[in-house]
Amino acid sequence: MLFEGIALDLPLTLMDSGQCFRWTRQGDRFGCVLDGRAVWLWNGDDGLHVDGDTDPGFLRHYLDLDRDYAAIAREYAQFPAARAAIERYPGLRVLNQPAWEALICFILSANNNVARIRGLTDALCRTYGDDRGGLYSFPTPERLADVREEALRALKVGYRAPYLIGAARAVLDGFPLARLRALPYDAAHALLLNLPGVGDKVADCVLLFGCGHASAFPVDVWMERVLREWFAMTCRSRAALRKQARALLGPHAGIMQQFLFHARRMEERHQATGNRH
C-alpha cells in the first residue's frame, strides 16, 4: 500500500513525541500491531509505504492524514510561539489511537519518561498480547483484568499495577470508554477521573490521543513551562492553566499542545547540549 505524496516524520510522530509508546524501529521501517494486524511503515520518494493487511481507511484515521495542519497553523498566526512550533515540525501528526491503549499507556506514563514508558508498554504487550510475526498486540481488558498484581509488578510497573487491573475491570464492568469520543469534553473528562490512576493530565492525554477531543490540553511540567514562559500565564495550578490554555487556543488546543510540547523539549535539549560545549 502507498499513500502517495504523504511524507510523515515517522521517528518523531511514532517514537519521540511522547504521544505513543508501541512502535518498534528497524532501520527506516516502523512496526506495530494495529487493529490486530502487523503493520510496517516507511517513507519513500513517492510517499508513505505500508506493508501489512490493514484497512487503508483505518490507517489514514490512525495517522491523522486527512487533517489540514496548514489550516491549523493559520489559526494561530497571532501567537508567534505557536506558529513557529507547528511550522518547525511539518511532518508531525497527532495520532488517533484506540482509547483502551491510550488509557493504559498513559496510566503507565505517570512519573515516568518516554523511554521507560515504552519499555513498560513493550513488556505488557510481549507478556499479555499475541505474537504477530515478532510484533505484539496490545493486551485486551479481559486479559489484564485477570492478571495478578504481583505479576504486573514483576514487569516493573510498580505502584501502577493495581491501577491497570482496576481500569481493565472497570471497562469490563461497563465504563463507557467507547462513548467518550461523542461526549462533550467536560463530561468525558469527569468520567475518566473516576478510573484508578487517572488524574487531570492522564485524562486529557486519553481524550486527545485516544478519543478525538482535539481541544483536550494535557499539562505536565513541560507544558506548564510553555504556558508561563511563552504565553505569560500566571495561574497557580495546572488545572487553571489547562482551562486558560483551552480558552485561549480554542478547538484545536490539543493539536497545538503537541507541537508546543515537542518544541519546548527540543529547546531545552539544545540548551543543555550547548551548555556542555
> Which residues are designated catalytic?
201
Q: Which residue has the cell 487531570?
A: 200
- CA-to-CA distance for 32 and 27, rounded, in angstroms? 14
In whole angstroms, give the CA distance from residue 12 to residue 262. Answer: 9
C-alpha pair distances (Å), 261 with each of 18, 90, 125, 223, 226: 9, 15, 27, 6, 8
Residue 264 cell numbers, joined: 519546548
| Backbone Cα Rg of the chain | 19
Does residue 201 contact residue 218 with C-beta atoms inside 8 Å?
Answer: yes
Q: How many CA atoms lie within 13 A of 217 on its CB side?
A: 24
Sign, Cα dihedral of 128, 132, 133, 136: negative
C-alpha cell recorded at residue 117: 514508558
Cell of 3: 499513500
Nearest to 94 by CA among 54, 71, 73, 65: 65
Planar angle of CA 63, 68, 72, nearest 5 degrees:
115
